[in-house]
Amino acid sequence: MEFLQNILTVLQIFVGVVTMIFILLQDSNERSNIIVPESSKGSNMGSSRNEKLAKRTKVLAIIYVVLSIFLGVVMTLTTVK
């Protein structure tokens, strides 16, 4: 069980760092943000770099949350014994 906990911890750190890098790579445009991309605000530019980064950031954030919950469950199960 300790091996699984170590693997999940490393994965969580990796996903967190990649998420931060994706956030920092996005342009700081006041017209768009991660929740409401620029294309839904009337722009006809198609799928831009920021939109792709925003989608990937959302996916990585969901993976991070799931990993955090799963890691918490694993840690709880190891301390109960």
Average confidence (pLDDT) over 14-36: 80
Domain that holds residue 17: 2-28+48-80
Domain contains 36: no
- Residue 66 resides in a domain: yes
Q: Give the count of domains, the chain.
A: 1
Q: Is residue 23 part of a domain?
A: yes
Q: Is 62 a domain residue?
A: yes
Flag whether 34 is in a domain. Answer: no
CB distance 38 to 49 below 8 Å: no
Predicted pLDDT of residue 46: 43
Confidence (pTM)? 0.72
Handedness of CA 38, 44, 50, 51 (dihedral sign): positive
Closest CA to 60 of 28, 31, 34: 34
Task: Express each pLDDT in 38-77 by its tens digit.
Answer: 555 555 454 688 888 999 999 999 999 999 999 999 999 8
12 in a structural domain: yes
Q: Is residue 6 part of a domain?
A: yes
